Amino acid sequence: MQVVSNARRVSRLLQSPIFLSSHFRSTEEPILSGLAQRNYQQVKYGPLNFFGSKVFYSSEVDNIEGTPTDAVKDLYDKMLQSINVNRSMPPNAWLWSMIANCKHHHDISLLFDILQNLRRFRLSNLRIHDDFNCHLCREVTKACVHAGAIDFGKIALWKHNVYGLAPSVASAHHLLLFAKKNNDTKLLVEIMKLLKRNDLPLQPGTADIVFSICDNTDEWELINKYAKRFVKAGVKLRETSFDTWMKFAAKRGDTESLWKIEKLRSDSMKRHTLATGFSCVKGLLLERKPSDAVAIIQVLNQTLSDAKKSGMKDELQKLVSEWPFEVLKHKEEEERKTLAASLKSDILAMVNDLLDMGLEANISLEDLNRREGVPQ
């Protein structure tokens, strides 16, 4: 029965064109409180106080004192003067300019202080109950990331915050990209919790960033956890997400997961990419089926565009030089010696078959021989 099942799976793959808290708004708060009367040097509060005991931040928010950027300070004073003395709404250009000039954490502190005062003024004097437009909110989050004020940036993802910021997935992407740049899985987890708590819909672009962070940090369990969440939410994963997910599964040597991901991919996409195709090649080698792996490479050679096809030699070389060692690192010590021998044998058989079929497979086998020893 297992032989029949394996034959059916290979047949199915080959039939496809290519194989296989306190800062929430309150109706009781004064419209223009003493906060608007303070001098910029007195702005010291941080968002850690906002949520009581339920904190979702990577690190605590310090009451950072320092000299704000001159341009930010001047714009803050002018807008505060307009609100408190002139009793008029400041020009939008001032706020945009302030956002663009924020460079440090204390600049962002002033920005959020003026946002709160502007929201109060809009509510009390102009009877505008709506949040600021989404584009402005995204730029605020972007400024927070640029200034390193991630604590403030996360506030922009909360519903009903006192700053008039409308949460969006686009704002979350700025924070996730910061987490990606710094390989910060803790921040990733916090952002994903905030998205869920504030009912922000997941998007294909979100999956791209999340999967990339998990791959870069070797967080296999985490990528599977979030992948299930994306699939359950009905998110249509992009080719790039499947590339990352399947390559990760092949690197881990997890064939059971690999074929489940491949089934999910094939349900929504007709053709493989170079990355997903070679991930399946690796899965077949792990199952000791070098001839089936050759069939996949042959179909890839026939269906990929010339631009993509040019990458096949590099993929073959990495399969020989890097992949076996990556797989062995994730296996138990007692499995390694047997697996190392079988991979070497089957990769050599695959390469010889490719040469016999006339496919260009001019690759170096030196690393395969040099890494015959099992990593300790």
Q: Is 271 exposed, middle or buried (0-12, 13-18, 19+ CB in 10 A)?
A: middle
Note the pLDDT tens digit of each residue in 246-266: 999 999 999 999 999 999 999
- Residue 66 pLDDT: 66
Please, which pLDDT band fits residue 215 given cuts at 50, 70 and 90? very high
pLDDT at 43: 39
> Coil, strand, or helix at residue 236?
coil
pLDDT exceeds 50 at position 1: no
Length of the chain: 376
Dump strand ranges (E) for the chain: none
CB 248 within 8 A of CB 232: no
- How far is residue 180's CA from residue 84's CA, in Å, rounded to a whole number? 42
Residue 345 has pLDDT above 70, yes or no: yes
Distance CA 353, CA 285 (A): 13
The model's confidence at residue 307, banded by pLDDT at 50, 70 and 90, is: confident
Report pLDDT for 50: 34
| The two structure tokens encoding residue 253 | 């040597």
Percentage of the chain lying above the pLDDT 70 cut: 79
The C-alpha atoms of residue 310 and residue 163 are separated, in whole angstroms, by: 52
- Of 165-174, 290-299, 364-373, least confident by mean pLDDT is 364-373
At 203 the pLDDT is 97
- CA-closest candidate to residue 74, choices 90, 89, 86: 90
Cα distance between residue 68 and residue 107, in whole Å? 5
Buried b (16+ CB within 10 A) or exposed e, 27-41: eeeeeeeebbeeebe
pLDDT at position 214 is 98
Handedness of CA 303, 309, 313, 314 (dihedral sign): negative
Say which DSSP state 28 is in. T
**Torsions phi, psi for 12 (to 5 deg):** -65, -40
Tokens of 287: 């199952």
**111 pLDDT more than 50:** yes
Residue 23 is predicted with a pLDDT of: 43
Q: Using 50, 70 and 90 to split pLDDT, how confident is the model at 309? A: confident
Higher pLDDT, 251 or 52: 251
pLDDT at 371 over 70: no
Location of structure tokens 């899965």? 283
Q: How far apart are CA 240 and CA 212, in angstroms?
A: 9
- Average pLDDT of the chain to the nearest whole number: 82
Per residue in 56-77, pLDDT (tens digit) is 333 333 444 568 899 999 999 9
According to the model, what pLDDT value does residue 112 have?
Answer: 96
Name which of 70, 73, 90 is nearest 81 in CA terms: 90
What is the per-residue pLDDT for 41? 39
Q: What is the pLDDT of residue 122?
A: 87
* pLDDT tens string 121-138: 988 877 877 778 889 999
> What does the pLDDT look like over 192-207, one tens digit per residue?
999 999 999 999 999 9
Q: How many CA atoms lie within 13 A of 141 on its CB side?
A: 27
